[in-house]
Structure 1
Amino acid sequence: MTHRLARRPLSAIVAVSALAMPFAAQAEDVTPEQVVTHYADLAHTVYTDALRTARALDESIEALLASPTPETLAAARSAWRDARVTYQQSEVFRFGNPIVDDWEGQLNAWPLDEGLIDYVEADGYQHELGNAGATANIIASSTINIGGENIDVSEITPELLASLNEIGGSEANVATGYHAIEFLLWGQDPHGYEAGAGEREVTDFVVGEACTNDHCDRRRAYLAAASDLLVEDLEWMVNQWAPIAEENYRSELLAEPAAEGLRRMLFGMGSLSLGELAGERMKVALEANSYEDEHDCFSDNTHNSHYYNGLGIQNVYTGHYQRSDGTDFDGASLESLLEQQDADLAAQLDHELKASMAALSDLKARAEDNESPMTFDMMIAPDNAEGAEVVNNAILALVSQTGSIEQAAGALGVSSLQPDDAGHTF
């Protein structure tokens, strides 16, 4: 089985044409400079919100560890789902912004060989062939040996966990981020294509004789360290987009010609839409009928991750974001800029973005149906024609909108956009 990071190389990114914008902005018009500045403001707002929900998750994990009960475990799981809503809308900033792409793997790498972290049930455990870390079990060990190297893991810290990502050269060795925390909160999903997510008992976090599956003290330390690191990483990214006096990524972006900023926006939209969401996250899992390639595979939250990825693409186009507290953030948008240049194309792209969100909404609604839920891992089962149709509809809608995103780039003076297709043919 092939494992991938949710981080794609930036080799497909090409330099933007430094041509001036092909229209003369009038006083009442939205300008490219305003649009790029709002894009930076939007990124700062989304990452700030992701940090807020990550801190809430951290607090819920502290409550769980202070008093491990079914109620505190359920609250931590709920906080994790809430944190995914905000973070998934940030992924559109990854493509085209190298600083985000280089950083993102520590937070959202997937799929992971969970045996690196904790105990697994050997029966049915699928992992990357030849991965020496696939059953290392950091939590049960003071030393692990990967590729002939002895590694001291006796003290579990955020720094140690970060150093273990891709240990032994395997991208499946993921020790940190949302999915490591997800695995610790839910455990393995033993249900395959059937209904049901991971079923970790809260007693896995109880110290003393009531501890189940041994090493509860180290499991607790691992969960706390992974959560602390998640918060620290998001704090760093918030500062990179903040409107502050000292130099950061935001200042570098805004110092570039506005056409370069537009390219990064459109490349991010197109690459997340095509290569990552339609390709890596949906097409791969569907064609291989592989629930191991499901994005949020331990919690069965994949439908939400896909939906909020799609919403993130739409947010960049419309310049709109609804914060986790329900308040709205709006400003100069690509949508307005494109309407000024080509109203028909703007209407076409708006229609296609709404169509992709409708398809992703259907996928989400099927998974959350109270009477007969069909989660993503059930949709991709070999004999589920209805589920395959739901997934394919979303893929086709995402592919269609990517074509219009490329047309929009041309209309706005950005040449050779070439969104990353991640090697997929559609």
Structure 2
Amino acid sequence: MQKRSFLHATLLGAALFAGFAAQAQTVEPKAVVQHYSALVYANYSDVLTSAQTLQKAITAFTAAPSAQGLEDAKKAWLAAREFYGQTEAFRFYSGPIDDDNGPEGRLNAWPLDESYIDSVVGKPKAGIVNNPKIKINKASLAKLNERGGEENIAAGWHAIEFLLWGQDLSETLPGQRSFEDYVDGKTPNADRRRAYLTTVTELLIDDLSFLVKAWTPGAKNYRAKFEQGGIQSVRKMIVGLGSLSRGELAGERLEVAMNTQDKEDEHSCFSDNTHRDVVANAQGIENVWLGSYKRLDGSMVQGASLKDLVAAKNAGLADKVSKQIAQSVANANAIQAPFDREIVGAKDAPGRIRVQKTIDSLVQQSKDITEAAAALGITKLAQAK
């Protein structure tokens, strides 16, 4: 009787395994696209929630400037960046974030000319803050963003970052702006500086709300069209991952800084948060590939993924891509703060070796992602419209 039960259990287990295997083989592009939409919505929603926490901290600080209030606002900015950085994987295919009318240029543009916004060392009267002829409101800041040059950044995460931290004038510390820059009678135009910080944060909230709306389920929006796109929407997902891997993260954000060894070319130079930006970007790629995302509340979003789709065609290739992406995340985590010291020195300097390993891994993963796309019959990856 025991032998028969064992045999029955073995056969049942084999049948269940075969059923699961068959289910894995039948993953459809539509399911992957629908889950991606849910993941994007969850991530943008978390960014908006964390940015609203930042807004509350900034509102409290500007109402009664203090050293602790400024510190609280900084911590809230850093916390929100962890979630925004992961959304960079949703770019580069003319989606809501960066189509012709998208807000990306107002959200995360860099590098930033500090003197376009406020006073800097040697230029005490520089910037919009110190020009009383310029009205400080959302419309004017949006209009002034990137006017006359792509470094003339007036809005977004890095404008807020500069207003909180100030210039990074130290080799070992981030910017050391005093809260007294926001106190009337202590620093010229403190009232306009308070108004600027409050207003630019409101604009950030507006732009993030726009993105959440574009991906909200059950609405006539971008998400509804995207979910009907089939394999073309899968192609967009892959374009996003490949473009962030090679051109943007490995290239613009790491190789450029490595070549110039200039802190002005690091992503979050005022707060010395660039090392975390790199990790968040790499993590965002892994999120999309695995169909997995850890939310602000600690819960997990998990479902049909690009990996599943590729594994149905070539399991070995899917595993190879997964391992390479995981290696990139690990290498990114190994980069030490401050990033502007990691990039300085000879080729064999420990920091430069750590950054170069990350670059090399990202370059390889972009090649692997291209190979994965080919396995799905997707070959045109230059730009997804």
TM-fit CA distance, 1:137: 1.0
Q: Give the gaps of 5 or more residues in structure 1.
A: 1-24, 126-134, 144-152, 368-374, 421-426
Residue 138 of structure 1: aligned partner? 128
TM-score, length-scaled by structure 2: 0.90
Residue 92 of structure 1: aligned partner? 89
SS of 1:321's equivalent? strand
TM-fit CA distance, 1:337: 1.4
Structure ranking higher on relative contact order (CA contacts 8 Å, 6+ apart): 1
Return the match for 1:157 from 123, 134, 137: 137
Matched, 1:391 2:355: yes
The answer on whether the counterparts of 1:40 and 1:250 sit within 8 Å (CA) in structure 2 is: yes
CA distance in 1, matches of 2:68, 2:164: 13
> Once structures 1 and 2 are overlaid, which stretch shifts more, 320-329 or 171-180?
320-329
* AA at the equivalent of 2:196: Y
Residue 291 of structure 2: aligned partner? 319
TM-fit CA distance, 1:136: 4.7
Residue 286 of structure 1: aligned partner? 258
Return the match for 1:202 from 152, 159, 179: 179
The answer on whether the counterparts of 1:270 and 1:419 sit within 8 Å (CA) in structure 2 is: no
* AA at the equivalent of 2:143: S
SS of 1:99's equivalent? coil
Residue 330 of structure 2: aligned partner? 358
Cα 1:242–1:234 shift into 2, 3 Å: same
CA distance in 2, matches of 1:299, 1:383: 25
Instruction: Return the index of the structure with the highest Cα Rg.
Output: 2
Consecutive aligned runs of 4 or more in structure 1 exceeding 3 Å deviation: 25-28
Residue 11 of structure 1: aligned partner? none
Return the match for 1:417 from 361, 364, 381: 381
| Number of residue-to-residue matches in the alignment | 359
The answer on whether the counterparts of 1:359 and 1:394 sit within 8 Å (CA) in structure 2 is: yes
Matched, 1:172 2:156: no
Residue 228 of structure 2: aligned partner? 255
* AA at the equivalent of 1:104: E
The answer on whether the counterparts of 2:136 and 2:199 sit within 8 Å (CA) in structure 1 is: yes
CA distance in 1, matches of 2:95, 2:296: 26
CA distance in 1, matches of 2:371, 2:383: 12
SS of 1:329's equivalent? strand
TM-fit CA distance, 1:188: 0.2
Residue 65 of structure 2: aligned partner? 68
TM-score, length-scaled by structure 1: 0.81
Q: Give the gaps of 5 or more residues in structure 2.
A: 1-20
Q: Percent identity?
A: 43
* AA at the equivalent of 2:107: L
Residue 189 of structure 1: aligned partner? 168
Residue 378 of structure 1: aligned partner? 341
Cα 1:55–1:383 shift into 2, 3 Å: same
Residue 5 of structure 1: aligned partner? none
CA distance in 1, matches of 2:137, 2:381: 41
CA distance in 1, matches of 2:103, 2:70: 29
The answer on whether the counterparts of 1:406 and 1:418 sit within 8 Å (CA) in structure 2 is: no
The answer on whether the counterparts of 2:93 and 2:383 sit within 8 Å (CA) in structure 1 is: no
TM-fit CA distance, 1:419: 7.4
TM-fit CA distance, 1:27: 5.5
CA distance in 1, matches of 2:212, 2:376: 29
CA distance in 1, matches of 2:23, 2:339: 48
